[in-house]
Each structure stands twice: as structure tokens, then as C-alpha cells.
Amino acid sequence: MGRWTEAAAAGGGASAASSAGPPCTPLPLPASSPGGAATMAFSEEDGSNGGASEASEEREAPGRRRRLGWAATAWLTFYNIAMTAGWLVLAITMVRFYMEKGTHKGLYKSIQKTLKFFQTFALLEIVHCLIGIVPTSVLVAGVQVSSRIFMVWLITHSIKPIQNEESVVLFLVAWTVTEITRYSFYTFSLLNHLPYFIKWARYNFFIILYPVGVAGELLTIYAALPHVKKSGMYSIRLPNKYNISFDYYYFLLITMASYIPLFPQLYFYMLRQRRKVLHGEVIVEKDD
């Protein structure tokens, strides 16, 4: 009986049929003559073609490149360039304000229109996931964008007294640096010319920026609490004909508490992604 095993060699290959079972490594088995060794390859690519969001990356097996139509590629390229530009403008405005005024008071007011515009525009990222031109799950993108929208519209926009808090500057700086890095990363990936330092920045800056941003956000919400309690804003009391009540103050407390389980999960996820992408580690995820 003959025995025919594969020898490992570098080269390109198409992937084999993947099974419906547990995450099975697709075996690229290109056709080759029976006498020779079948080649196989496994290109571990940084397959962030369409751009995944901050804390969750591509779910597909590496090596499976997304095939985007020209329209989707064009749109995503435009979108990512526009967002990079927008956050750059924000950053420059903030720096100039501080250089001219020497204080952070009034900083939020001067950038609020730009911030609201570009952060709200990011809602489109959920649509990108919905229509499948970006490989991130809708849920993850939704959570990401929603938390930003929440901070911008339901906290800093609505609760004016806290706009001059230092904590606001803290998260604004974190967001700005993060977003400029993230959007330029996606832009370069789409153009297939990703400079290593952008990839390095994307997978290293978060180590500091994430905790800084979270601290800024939590401190800001905390500062807002007394104002919310006093004004009773965004709240419904009983009795009313729909028999429901909502207390924004307690909602904010619960939101702050929810950072405790959520933040570590996202942070460690990014750390795992970092090890995979920058150091080529093979990380075997626990089988759910």
C-alpha cells in the first residue's frame, strides 16, 4: 500500500473545503502531480481589509481575503480618509486652542461641532457591518459606536456644567489619537500599502490610550451625576399612562458599573490581537 503524505513547503494555495464542525484549519491542497510533494501554504495575513472596529477584529480564518467590489472599496477608502482627516482637524484645533489660551476651559465648546459631526458620522460603521463590507460583527461595532454617541450626546452635550472638566480633555485626547491611528490604519490597508509603524501604533497605542480614555469617560460621568440628580433630566416618573419609569441618575450609575466587566474583556481581546498580529503567535481560542 502506498502512503502519500504531504511535505510542507512554502507557496500559494487555495483553501480546502472547510468542515462544518469545530474551527477546523482549512487545508490548502492545490492539485499537484502524485509523484511530487503537495505544497501547502498558510498565509497569515493581517486581513483587515475593510477595517474592523477598535476592540474586535476579523472573525474569519486568516488567509481568507475578503473580496470587496470596487464600489465598496472606493467608498470605504473615501470614508476612512475623511474620518482620518476629520479627527486630524480636531486634534490640530485642540492643540492650537491650548497654545493660544493656555487653558482647557472653553476647549470643548470650540471643538464640539466638529466632534459631534465626525463621531456621529461613525454610525455608518454599523451599516458597513450590516451590509458585510466590513468583517466585524454588528453587535461589536454597535456597542463601540453607541458608547461614543452616548458620551458625546447624552453626557457632554446635554450636561453643560461638566464641559470644562479636565476629564473631558482626557478622553478627547485618547479618542483623537486612537481614531487618527485607527482610520489611517484602515485607509492604508485598503490601499494595500500599510507602513509598519501604523500597524505598530494601532496595536500598541491602545495599551495606554484605552485606560486613559476609560478614566476620562468615567470621571466625566461621575462629575455629571449631581447635575443629573438635581435637574431630574431624561427621567419619567410614575404615575403615567404607560406605566413605566426611568431614572437617568440610576441609569448612569449602572452604566459606570458596567465598565467593570466590559473594559477588561475588550482590553484583553486587543492584547490577544496584538500578540497575533505583531508577534505572529498562534492563539488557540477556547472552543465555546
Partner 1 sequence: MKHYEVEILDAKTREKLCFLDKVEPHATIAEIKNLFTKSQGKSLKDEDVLQKLPVGTTATLYFRDLGAQISWVTVFLTEYTGPLFIYLLFYFRVPFIYGHKYDFTSSRHTVVHLACICHSFHYVKRLLETLFVHRFSHGTMPLRNIFKNCTYYWGFAAWMAYYINHPLYTPPTYGAQQVKLALAIFVICQLGNFSIHMALRDLRPAGSKTRKIPYPTKNPFTWLFLLVSCPNYTYEMGSWIGFAIMTQCLPVALFSLAGFIQMTIWAKGKHRSYLKEFRDYPPLRMPIIPFLL
Binding site for partner 1 (CB under 8 A): 1-6, 8, 16-22, 24-25, 27-31, 38, 40, 42, 238-245, 282, 287-288
Give the number of other CB atoms < 10 A from CB of residue 113: 9
Find the catalytic residue in 125, 217, 248, 249.
217
Instruction: Name every residue whose Cβ is closer than 8 Å to that of residue 155 and which is 6 or more positions away in sequence.
Output: 162, 220, 221, 224
Nearer to partner 1 among residue 239 and residue 261 (C-beta): 239
> What are the b/e assignments for 184-196, b being 16+ CB within 10 Å?
bbbbbbbeeebee
Sign of CA dihedral 201, 202, 207, 212: positive
- 3 state DSSP class of 50: coil
CA distance 104 to 192: 39
Min CB(249)–partner 1 separation in Å: 18
| 230 CB neighbour count, 10 Å cutoff | 10
Q: Which residues pair with 248 in a beta bridge?
A: none
The residue to which cell 464640539 is assigned: 112
Q: Is 222 one of the catalytic residues? A: no
Least Å distance, CB 195 to partner 1, is 28
The CA distance from 118 to 62, in Å, is 31
Nearer to partner 1, 13 or 216 (CB): 13
Q: How many CB atoms lie within 10 A of CB 129?
A: 22
Kindly report the three-state secondary structure assignment for every residue of 61-127.
Answer: CCCCCCCCCHHHHHHHHHHHHHHHHHHHHHHHHHHHHHHHHCCCCCHHHHHHHHHHHHHHHCCHHHH
Q: How far is the CB of 20 from partner 1 (least distance, A)?
A: 5
Comparison of 30 and 142: residue with beta carbon closer to partner 1: 30
Q: Which of 210, 234, 250, 269 is catalytic?
A: 210
Beta carbon of residue 179, minimum distance to partner 1 (angstroms, whole number): 32
Closest CB to partner 1 among 8 and 95? 8
Q: Give the shortest CB-60-to-partner 1 separation in angstroms.
A: 16
Residue 210 is among the residues annotated as catalytic for this protein? yes
Shortest distance in whole angstroms from residue 70 CB to partner 1 = 31
Cis peptide before 30, with omega less than 30 degrees from 0? no
**And the C-alpha cell for 118?**
465626525
Catalytic center residues: 210, 217
